[in-house]
Amino acid sequence: MNPLDSHIDDIRAQFKMLDHWVYLNAGDIMVPGNYWLDAARDYYRFQECGRMEDIPTADAATHPFLTPAWQECIERGARLINAQPDEVTNMYRPAITANLILYNMFEWHDGDNVVITDLSYPAIPYILQDIARRHGVEIRVVRHVEGEVPLEKMESAIDGRTRLVAVDRTAAFSGFTFDMKSLCRLAHDQGAVVLDDAMQALGAIDIDVADDEVDLLISGSYKWQCGPEGAGLFYIRRAFMDTVDARFRNYIWADVPGGIPFADPHHDNLASWDHPPVNNANRFSQDTVIGPSLFGWNATLKFYERHGIGNIEERVRRLGTYATERLQDIGCTVTSPLDPERRHGLITYTNGDYDRDLEFFRRCAAPGRCKKPIRISMRALGGVGNLRVCTHFFNTEEDIDTLVDLQASMR
């Protein structure tokens, strides 16, 4: 028995909005958790008490990158994905970090190609369109087959001129989840780098970047991760990091002997800073994470450590299967993979008609007098969709029954 099952009521009590909504929408944005709200408030309480200065030493709520929480998030984030701490730094939105990666960490040449899929979230493809225009890079789009992307189709697209394979570990629009270890092997055999957008996977399933041999992984903190808006993690594999001299510098992470020399009487704004960046992932930090988000993210990672990502994944997959089967039982067409190894709790389905799907989506917001609203999403891409249900570990079979019963009443 999953140990989370016996205290699911205590877990749900951390999310106050669950008292008022049937929330099946973690793939969009997560409802606030008491654990991270309290931590974020602590940051402001410290500042209210004047604990924000950095001279003579960094105080409790000073610049985020000077606080113990900065390093604690790195260490906890590294444990969550089985990375080394020096391979992880803090970040905010994947789209922001993807700009750093694609414009500053690669030397592009005419004739290079990048491989994506037609289920990729638009953030990275949008950047790649500009890369293609500027540098003559070919974008190769691998088309899905009924909501899944077969590895053999990826293999056919990757060749000796492929510089980058960029995929969503879990597709936001179908729930298809890659076998990243096999994909990385295919890419590396051709000398390509793999960028893993794990936004729809981190926090839902166990990720092992060391075993997968992923080169780059990015994720925010505010969807399946059950954390606040404004944080996340950026992983750079050491073997890849050592090959990169990014066209990016952040003076905070200059490897200055003795640390930042602001109090040095001989401080010179050139000579004192004539040092390379630190030899870890912080050299790529854009310092976009603000203090309250960092404190909240640290509390979220502690929350995950208490409950165990393996236990969380088991509930996510089990509830995803339950939702799939119940929707099929009432005649809906599930467009996510039916094999639970190829998806987790992100389930897309349709009534077979866009207008009927839209009508049901609107009905969920107002299901009837004295009934809780049901929070789901409408999402479609590449002909896959239209309704999206996300079963996270805090959800219950009763949540899914409420959704399915309302859906059945409208068929």
In the chain, the percentage of residues whose pLDDT exceeds 70 is 100
Buried/exposed 177-208: b ≥16 CB within 10 Å, e otherwise: bbebeebbebbeeeebbbbbbbbbbbbbbbbe
pLDDT band at 65 (very low <50, low <70, confident <90, very high): confident
Q: Mean pLDDT over residues 235-245, rounded?
A: 97
Question: Hey, which residues does 177 pair with through a beta bridge?
Answer: 170
- Residue 342 half-sphere exposure toward CB, CA atoms < 13 A: 13
Is the pLDDT score of 385 beyond 90? no
Residue 169 near residue 178, CB atoms below 8 Å: yes
Mean pLDDT of all residues in the chain? 96
Q: Which domains does the chain have, with CATH numbers?
A: 5-24+308-409 (3.90.1150.10), 42-305 (3.40.640.10)
Burial 78-89 (b: 16+ CB within 10 A, else e): bebbebeebbbb
The residue count of the chain comes to: 411
Whole-angstrom Cα distance, residue 324 to residue 322?
Answer: 5
Assess contact for 303 and 33: CB atoms under 8 A: yes
Tens digit of each residue's pLDDT (9 = 90 or more) over 12-50: 999 999 999 999 999 999 999 999 999 999 999 988 888
Q: What's the confidence (pLDDT) of residue 61?
A: 80
User: Token pair for residue 120?
Assistant: 């990729």
Q: What is the CA angle 260-266-268, rounded to 5?
A: 65
The answer to whether the beta carbons of residues 2 and 321 sit under 8 Å apart is: no
Residue 274: the pLDDT is 96
2-14 tens-digit pLDDT: 999 999 999 999 9
Residue type, 191: G
